[in-house]
Chains A and B, each alone.
Chain A
Amino acid sequence: MSEEQIKELEIQFEARIARDEKIEPKDWMPEKYRQTHIRQMSQHAHSEIIGMLPEGNWITRAPTLRRKVALLAKVQDEAGHGLYLYSATETLGITRDELLEQLHTGKAKYSSIFNYPAISWADMGTIGWLVDGAAIINQVALCGASYGPYARAMVRICKEESFHQRQGYEILVTLMKGTQEQKDMAQDALNRFWWPSLMMFGPTDAESPHTAQSMKWKLKRKTNDDLRQQFIDQTVPQAELIGLTIPDSDLKWNKEMGHYDFGEIDWDEFWQVVKGHGPCNKERMKVRIAAHENGQWVRDAAMAYAEKQQIPA
């Protein structure tokens, strides 16, 4: 194809997106659109998979059977969400194997929030409430993404995710009605997860290199800062209602703007964690790679069995 023909196709492509048409796997698309989608969608899939680790660790220690079945179902959903997203990413012409390879070698990223440890039962409440809450805000915005398979996966995920947030908040509601020790545990969890949750929306708009292009391609429907503000505005009253204190002395309601003003985010910490120096980066990767390698013989055996069944007797 000549350069002019590609230019022409690109103009038609941009016009389709501007008209809110969806792009489907076999449609022509600019190479950069394909690559950017592979990057963001796989990062999203990896986050679901790694996101199982901090919570999976607590399933056997859930305080009641009710909490245990809920946590188990939530972690299973995350596996499911990872699978929806991997499949959707594969429609762009990359294999599952390549995607996993990128995760395991560190070439692909996952949400930095999962590099923080979950050290108490209150963390299960806080992760559901804040981390899933932040994820929902991101994902609702993505239900209108231009790439059909991504948008469809998002719709399905959003439907399932609201229970995740509610089960988390319910854990905190219960703790906040308990003993002083339980209340302290809940407050401590919030203190540790509040700022990392705000970082989940990514760098500020001024520092976000991909935002402009992603907005144009409808791979993003709202900017990082808008989503972060929406999250804060919605979360602060939920904290107050149950007697939790947001660990930000600069936080205050701005009547004129109709939003909460908030303090400075420690972006050095964010970049440190993204670059692999968070508290649990190495641990998460180690566990993930071991699970993959230890499962290899099972996958091979299943394949060998399937092939054997196909040979006519």
Chain B
Amino acid sequence: MKKNWPLWEVFVRSKNGLEHRHFGSLHAADAEMALENARDVYTRRNEGISIWVVESKHITATNPDNNGELFEPAKDKVYRHPTFYDLPDEIKHM
């Protein structure tokens, strides 16, 4: 039976000091090949100095249907932001 190469997600650090960022995905038989393919597919023009690959099936993601209960409670917690607090006008920087 034909087995297809699994899907991998590719993360690239464009330069030191910056985080790895999701660049896209690709198919490869194993991790080593995924790195080699990622180098050819996503960094042909000096886009990166470090690559991470992870097999897509290992990523657990939130479901957008649950966005309300997951993310909306943060919206009414304005006291988490500095602008919520009243200061005397004399205080210029705090």
Interface range on chain B (Cβ under 8 Å from partner): 20 to 34
Q: Is the CB of B29 within 8 A of A303?
A: yes
Whether a CB of chain A sits under 8 angstroms from the CB of B25 is yes
One digit per residue, 1 when the CB lies within 8 angstroms of any chain A CB and 0 when it does not, for chain B 51-66 equals 0000000000101110
Q: Separation in Å of the A66 CB from the closest CB of chain B?
A: 18
Q: Chain A interface secondary structure, helix, strand, loop or mixed?
A: helix
Task: Tell which of B3, B24, B40 has the most Cβ of chain A within 10 Å.
Answer: B24
Q: Please, which residues of chain A bring their CB within 8 A of the CB of B65?
A: 28
Q: CA separation between A88 and B41, bound complex, in Å?
A: 14
Q: Is the CB of A26 within 8 A of B24?
A: no
Q: Please, which residues of chain B bring their CB within 8 A of the CB of A56?
A: none
Whether a CB of chain A sits under 8 angstroms from the CB of B93 is no
- Contacts A84-B41, A90-B7 given; indicate if A302 touches B33 (C-beta within 8 A): yes
Whether a CB of chain B sits under 8 angstroms from the CB of A83 is yes
Q: Is the CB of A309 within 8 A of B30?
A: yes
Whether a CB of chain B sits under 8 angstroms from the CB of A77 is yes
Residues of B at the A interface (CB closer than 8 Å) are 2-5, 7, 24-27, 29-30, 33, 40-41, 44-45, 61, 63-65
Residues of A at the B interface (CB closer than 8 Å) are 24, 26-28, 73, 76-77, 80, 83-84, 87-88, 90, 95-97, 152-153, 160, 296, 299-300, 302-303, 305-306, 309
Ranked nearest first, the 6 interchain pairs of A and B with the lowest CB-CB distance are A306-B30, A302-B29, A306-B29, A87-B25, A303-B29, A303-B3
